[in-house]
Structures are given as structure tokens and as C-alpha cells.
Chains A and B, each alone.
Chain A
């Protein structure tokens, strides 16, 4: 039940919230304005030729990627959260590791692994066996789906595992009558639904804005159409218009999701909550579990890492170290940290504000700004150049950071929002009844309760910024160099040795960050237990 809110107390939050939203609304408004113009000749021409097929391919890629990642992500989440088997505590964090590999690096590595000059070919050569896979065509839809699924399933896994662990034991115990698999389907999945759908939405948005990997593998999606209109037809207005269509479609899907969720609230009192006891798997089942967990880790993390190490050290060319690399690493870190901290601030403000001011209009406004994530980065960059460059100088570092914020707010916002929804219901309401102000409640109840979610969400933004390409390319000031840029440019010139080292550095930083995220998620569990035992 929502408590009635006193108008006076809310006013200042209203202003803050509107200000927060307003800052991010500008590029969206520019996009919406594009829709008012009639379709351009370029779009009409594209519509008669490639566009329908591109839409179809996009749809297929999005749906398949989202469904498969949701399926395997939640299965692994359930397996790790409920069962013990050989290596389970290891796989708990290893399953996250593909997050450390940017999607385009994954695509290059997948091809590189089977390449005639790759590590596998070398192994065959050492064994004096003819290498049979030199012609393996790693391209097209199939390869793209593999790459996308491998690099995106951890988003679902981390959220699913977390959500399964937080589920009420009472409910799960009541459900034990169903037995293992049906317990998962009947109780586990429905309870985790908001979190899983949120994760699925994240995957769809990641897929929609993916360009590098898909282009490299020769998959023709709506993003190709956007860039095609811009680069080939020299018609940036059409490009913006196609982006607006994408935006509207995503907005409708997300709005439907909100509506369907509106009926149910998912927080359960802490009193019913107690730590889950693991079920120990036995016999062939336990080895099956181990093997199935090893598969995505091997393909999504170990394989790319082998390839990168191979290109850097074991390849047949000398390692190149340049001072630029250190500079790039420093600037990458700086950008990532700044953007992550600022987006934490904005996301927290907006998520909490939305909670206090529970009006549909605010929900939709918030939704629309968090969809900046679904737009291709280059389009966002153009939108920013056109709309915001009056306020911030182009080529200044802050317009780039604003771009990151606009684009990656969703990554930070969704987990925080879900965290607030799941954990801060009753206690928050109780504190409200006892007369605590909104700010007091935010600082003393909400933030401590979800602090690990906050850290994890912030680090997710950091990860995204670390490997971000299109915004950085278009908006960066002269002289700024990041690891992602270094590796991307050399990759696209097929200078693998030069590309591998910055990519490897990026992966190492990302690995550390992923491990911290994992550490924080553990913290979440132990702290919840802690507060419960008191």
C-alpha cells in the first residue's frame, strides 16, 4: 500500500527530480522532434529495399539474445543460489567474468581463436596435425548470436542470482512440495520476475546499440541502417529519424512492462527472510552442473583471454609498449570513475524521487530518459552535438561525461530502483510514519540497506564507460585517448599485436572491477543476514 504523501514535504523533491530529469530530457526532446517531420526520401527508399529485412534481423537478434540470456542467466543464477556442486563457489564469480570482455573484442577473439594464425592452429602445428578449421566461417547471424549471448548473459546471471538469494525462505520452503525444477518454475522465477525482466530489458538495449561486433561479423541490423543513412547517404536527419523510431518501439515495450508490473509489488518483510540452505547435488548431476558452468566461462572468458595473451606475447611478432598506453589507461580510469560517480548520484536521486512522488507521469519521464541506453552511441553523440553544445563547449571533457551519463544512466538506475523496490518497502514506510524526512530516510535507511547494490551499479557504469566507443570517438577533446579507442583502432586495421595490449589492459582492469562487484554482492548477502540476526 502506498502511504499518502504530504504535499509540502514533497515539493523540494519534486523540484530536484524535475531538474534531474530535465537535464537528461533535452536530447530525447530533440529526437522526438524528428518524428514530427515527415519521413525523408532516404527513409522511403530504404524502406522499399533493405530496411524491412534489417528490422526483421534486429528483431530476431534481440528476441533470441534476450530469451537465451534470460534462460541461461537465470538457470545459472538458480543453480549457484540454491545448489552446491564441485567448483560452485568458484563458478559463482567465474560466471560473471565475460563481463570483462567488451563485445567487439569478443567478436575479434572468436575469429582470432580459430584463425589460421591463431592459438588453436599453433597447437595443431605443434602436434604436427593438419589444422582442419582454417576455413571455419565465423560470421553472420549465428556467430553474432553466440558472441552476444556470451557477453551479455552475465547481466542476467548477476541479477537473477541476487534475486533468488533474496527470496523469502518461507515461500521457497512452502514450494518444496513441487520438487527442484518445478520449484524453480513455480516459485523462483515468478518471484524474480521484475528483476529478470529488468535484466532482459538491459540485454535488449545492449543488443540494440551494439555495432562494432555485428558489423564485423557482417550482420545487417537497424543500427547499420542508421549509420548507412548517415555515412552513405550523407543524410544525418534520416539517421536521427530512424533512431527515433527505434526509440519509440523500445519505449512502448518498456512502458508495457511497467504497466504489467504496476499491479504487483515484490518486497517481502525481512521477518520472513532467512538464508537459503544449499541443496548438495550428488552423482552425475553434480558433474553435469560443474560442466555446464564451465562451458560459458571457457568460451566467454578463457578463450578471449587466451587469444589476447597469444596476440600480445606468444604471437609471432614483438610486443610493443608505448608511453601512450599508460596515458590512455589513466584517462580511461579517470573517465570511468567520474562518469560512474556522477551517474550514481543522478540515478539515486531520480530513483528515490520517483519512489516518493509516485505519479505515472514521473514514471514515464524517468523511463524515457533511461532509454538513452537503447540508442546507438553515435546517434546519441549527434543528438548531443546538436542540442547540448549550446550549453557545454564541444570538445570539452564535460560534454563527453554528460554523454556517458545520459547513455549509461539506465545501467545504474535499474538495479538501484529494483533494490529500493525489493528492500526498502516496509522499513521505509515505518520510518515515514515515525516522522523521518525524505532525506533522512534516504541517507539512513535506503542507502545503507542497498549500499552494495549502489556500489555494484556504479561499477557497472564504470565497466560500460571503460569499453565505450562511439561517444568517446565523436565527443572527446583533442588529445584524449582511452584503452578502448587504442585497441579498437588497431583492431580495425588488423594490427593485432598493437591492439591486443590495450585490450588486455582493459580486460585486466575490468576483471578487477567485476571481482569487486562480486565482492559487493557477497557483502549484500552477509549484511542482510547480519541485520536479520540482530
Chain B
């Protein structure tokens, strides 16, 4: 056995222990706010940095899925470090509210910045942005005139022409919940079955994957959130920029209730230690400056009506959006989940 090997083998635990002791983690700061967030876009970091510059309050973020964050806040109880929770789905905010994890907030600033249908009636949560779930179609294979509603995509004429992400993803559950709200359980079930029958192949991948497949011509249409198109237009990848030119956005159900939207929203936790700071952050995120950035950098729909954006993937004010259904989604989400369970659209 060589000398070097002998030294390594004899003394490695000592070296390792030194690293163990020296590398102690993580310290705290004075003015700060702790955010448990489902959002993990580069733009979020930018916004938090701006907030820190303006207010001197540091924003600590813990990223995970909403359900994991909710369960954690629940388990942490009164000792929770979370001051604010941010989700990408109204149903999760309502869930946190129902579990008694949130506290109401009254702020005239927020009430001015966020339209009434995009915030909780008692002030438990406020939307930061809304996101439209739209039809994305291949320009070469489909004419805009062929498209009309979500319901139409269940028609047999689309057989083998649709790709979708998993039906149990919150974005699809939300869409289906809206369908139940407007048309009833039976119609929603038939719709899900129709989509299942029209799928080109079994559901896999995320919204971007579906959009790429449509762009490549593997499928004709998909349903996806509109900001993905915007993100791909502004992608660092030139190929994505090239590819995205072959698709277009269609805002369905204009003759009816409008295109389905869900929100990305924030709430202050019940046992927040820094609730004043959290309130300040929430107000900042609804301000003109922050809202402008949400729209211009991330192509999400700003909630603040004073913000004017001209982004390809952000619907203009002429587009009818189904904001009225936002607060109904939660009550139908369980039924929606059960519906997809019985179809072959997994």
C-alpha cells in the first residue's frame, strides 16, 4: 500500500470533521422578511433586491412547491419562520386560509392596486399577477379561425392533434374547475374524456415541452400558460427564439366567460414575526414599479390596472379574461381532481 493511500485512509475522518465544524451554516440579519415561495423566477430575486435597496429590509426566500410549504408552515406552528407565502395557484392560498395558517390584512394601498376579484374578500390573500391559460397553435397547421373555445378541443376533429401536460397539474385542475363552475360536472367530465381521446401521446413534460412540440409540428395545439411563449421569445436560446415564431397564442372563450386565468398570489402567515415588513413587501410587489417588471420580464398579467404593457404574450385590455371565476375555483377543485382520475389523460 502506498504511503499517500495510507495517509488518506488513516486520517480522512479528521479532515472531514474539521470541515464539519468549520462550515457552520447560516446566520440571521436584523430587518428581514422570510418568504416561503413557490415562484422561482430570476425576476423575483431582482424584485427582492430592489425592495431591499428601497426599504433596507432583507428578503430571505425558501423555494418549494406550495403544498410542501403549506405542510411545513402547519408543522412549524407558532414557531414558523415564514412571514409570507407565495403560491402560483389560488386554490393553494384558499387551502392555507382554510387551515388557519394566514392572517387578514387591510391596506388601502393594496385595495387600490389589486382589483376586488383578485383579492380575498377578508384580505387573507392578494394576487400579484394573473396568468392566462391559452391555446397555443402551430401557425402552419392551424388557422386561428379553426379555434374557438376550450370545449371545442374535445371535438373528435382534433383526434391525435393535441399534446398536454399532466391532467393533475394545478394549472389543468384549475382550468377544469372553471369548466365545472361554468358548465357543470357532466360537461367537464365529457370534456376531459374528449381531450384524453384527442391526445397525440400520453401526457408528459411541462408547458414548455408542449409548446415546443406544437412548434415542431408534432401536434397542432396545446393548452398552456401564455407567459411561457413570452419567456421563449425572450429566451437566451436562439433556437427557442427561432422555433417560437411558428406558434401563436389564441385566447379562447371570448364569446363566453373569457379566457381562463389563475393567479400567483401572496399572503401573510398567521404567526408571522415580521408582519409589518411582510406588509411592506406585499405593497411593494403590487406597486407600479414591481408590476411593470412582472409584465415586462416575466410576461405575466399585472394585477395593477394602472400598468400598461405591450407584450406579445400578455393579453391586451381588449381580451376578455375570466377573473370572475377565480374565487369559485377552490370549491370545484376536488371534483376536478376526481374527474381526471377516471380518464386516460393522466
Q: How far is the CA of A451 from the CA of B5 in the complex (A)?
A: 12
Q: How far is the CA of A331 from the CA of B20 in the complex (A)?
A: 11
Separation in Å of the B193 CB from the closest CB of chain A?
13
Interface residues of A in 34-70 (CB under 8 A from B): 45-46, 49-50
- Is B7 among interface residues, defined by CB-CB distance under 8 A? no
Contact, CB under 8 Å: B34 / A116:
no
Contacts of B62 in A (CB 8 A): 476, 478
Contacts of A318 in B (CB 8 A): 236
**Contact with A218, one of B64, B202, B212, B239 (Cβ below 8 angstroms):** B202
Separation in Å of the A531 CB from the closest CB of chain B?
11
Given A316-B236, A523-B1, A389:B12 Cβ within 8 A: no
Contact, CB under 8 Å: A523 / B71:
no
Contact, CB under 8 Å: A232 / B168:
yes
**What are the interface flags for B6-18 relative to A under an 8 Å C-beta threshold, 1 for contact and 0 otherwise?**
0001001100110
Separation in Å of the A284 CB from the closest CB of chain B?
38
Contact, CB under 8 Å: B63 / A489:
yes
Separation in Å of the A148 CB from the closest CB of chain B?
16
Given A49-B342, A389-B75, A523-B5, A140:B334 Cβ within 8 A: no
Contact, CB under 8 Å: A137 / B20:
no
Contacts of B209 in A (CB 8 A): 494
Contact, CB under 8 Å: A489 / B337:
no
Contacts of B52 in A (CB 8 A): none
Closest partner residue, chain A, to B342 (CB atom): A49
Separation in Å of the B253 CB from the closest CB of chain A?
24
Q: How far is the CA of A515 from the CA of B166 in the complex (A)?
A: 39
22 A/B residue pairs, CB under 8 Å, sorted by A: A45-B341, A46-B341, A116-B243, A117-B237, A117-B239, A135-B216, A135-B218, A139-B205, A140-B204, A218-B204, A218-B346, A233-B334, A234-B67, A341-B16, A389-B75, A474-B71, A477-B25, A480-B26, A493-B40, A494-B209, A495-B42, A527-B1
Separation in Å of the B203 CB from the closest CB of chain A?
6
Contact, CB under 8 Å: B201 / A137:
yes
**Contact with B20, one of A338, A479, A496 (Cβ below 8 angstroms):** A338
**What are the interface flags for A377-405 relative to B under an 8 Å C-beta threshold, 1 for contact and 0 otherwise?**
01001100110010001110100000000
Q: How far is the CA of A496 from the CA of B240 in the complex (A)?
A: 12
Extra contacts, 11 of them, besides A317-B237, A337-B19, A520-B9 (Cβ < 8 A), are: A134-B216, A231-B168, A233-B337, A236-B71, A317-B236, A394-B72, A474-B71, A474-B72, A476-B62, A479-B26, A479-B60
Contacts of A137 in B (CB 8 A): 201
**What are the interface flags for A302-320 relative to B under an 8 Å C-beta threshold, 1 for contact and 0 otherwise?**
0000000000000111100
- Is A220 among interface residues, defined by CB-CB distance under 8 A? yes
**Contact with A334, one of B23, B236, B334 (Cβ below 8 angstroms):** B23
- Is B256 among interface residues, defined by CB-CB distance under 8 A? no
Contacts of B19 in A (CB 8 A): 333-334, 337
- Is B190 among interface residues, defined by CB-CB distance under 8 A? no
A-side interface residues toward B, CB under 8 Å?
Answer: 45-46, 49-50, 116-117, 134-135, 137, 139-140, 215-218, 220, 228, 230-234, 236, 315-318, 330-331, 333-334, 337-338, 340-341, 378, 381-382, 385-386, 389, 393-395, 397, 451-452, 455, 473-474, 476-480, 485, 489, 492-498, 519-520, 523, 526-527, 530
Contacts of A50 in B (CB 8 A): 341, 346
Contact, CB under 8 Å: A220 / B205:
no
Contact, CB under 8 Å: A234 / B95:
yes
Q: How far is the CA of A473 from the CA of B68 in the complex (A)?
A: 8
Q: How far is the CA of A385 from the CA of B75 in the complex (A)?
A: 6
Given A337-B20, A378-B68, A478-B62, A394:B204 Cβ within 8 A: no
Q: How far is the CA of A496 from the CA of B237 in the complex (A)?
A: 9
Contacts of A338 in B (CB 8 A): 20
Q: How far is the CA of A523 from the CA of B17 in the complex (A)?
A: 23
Contacts of A476 in B (CB 8 A): 62
Closest partner residue, chain A, to B341 (CB atom): A49
Closest partner residue, chain B, to A230 (CB atom): B67
Contacts of B40 in A (CB 8 A): 489, 493
Contacts of B67 in A (CB 8 A): 230-231, 234
Q: How large is the interface on B (under 10, 10 to 19, 20 to 34, 35 or more residues)?
A: 35 or more
Contacts of A479 in B (CB 8 A): 25-26, 60
Contact, CB under 8 Å: A386 / B25:
no
Contact, CB under 8 Å: B206 / A220:
no
Nearest first, the 5 A-B pairs at minimum CB distance are: A218-B204, A317-B236, A385-B75, A117-B239, A334-B23
- Is B76 among interface residues, defined by CB-CB distance under 8 A? yes
Closest partner residue, chain B, to A330 (CB atom): B23
Q: How far is the CA of A449 from the CA of B218 in the complex (A)?
A: 59
Contact, CB under 8 Å: A473 / B75:
no
Q: How far is the CA of A231 from the CA of B342 in the complex (A)?
A: 17
- Is B173 among interface residues, defined by CB-CB distance under 8 A? yes
Contact, CB under 8 Å: B202 / A139:
yes
- Is B79 among interface residues, defined by CB-CB distance under 8 A? yes
Closest partner residue, chain A, to B76 (CB atom): A394
Q: How far is the CA of A386 from the CA of B17 in the complex (A)?
A: 30
Contacts of A526 in B (CB 8 A): 1
Q: How far is the CA of A57 from the CA of B12 in the complex (A)?
A: 43
- Is B331 among interface residues, defined by CB-CB distance under 8 A? no
Separation in Å of the A402 CB from the closest CB of chain B?
15
Separation in Å of the B150 CB from the closest CB of chain A?
20
Most buried by A among B23, B34, B75, B173: B75
Q: How far is the CA of A228 from the CA of B65 in the complex (A)?
A: 13
Contact, CB under 8 Å: A139 / B237:
no
Closest partner residue, chain B, to A46 (CB atom): B341
**Contact with B68, one of A218, A233, A340, A474 (Cβ below 8 angstroms):** A474
Q: How far is the CA of A122 from the CA of B282 in the complex (A)?
A: 45
**Contact with B9, one of A233, A378, A485, A523 (Cβ below 8 angstroms):** A523
Closest partner residue, chain B, to A214 (CB atom): B204
Q: How far is the CA of A394 from the CA of B238 in the complex (A)?
A: 44
Contacts of A233 in B (CB 8 A): 334, 337
Closest partner residue, chain B, to A318 (CB atom): B236
Separation in Å of the A29 CB from the closest CB of chain B?
17
Contacts of B25 in A (CB 8 A): 331, 334, 397, 477, 479-480
Q: How far is the CA of A116 from the CA of B72 in the complex (A)?
A: 40
Contacts of B5 in A (CB 8 A): 519, 523
Contact, CB under 8 Å: A394 / B75:
yes
Separation in Å of the B131 CB from the closest CB of chain A?
14
- Is B273 among interface residues, defined by CB-CB distance under 8 A? no
Contacts of B170 in A (CB 8 A): 231
Contacts of A478 in B (CB 8 A): 26, 34, 60-62, 81
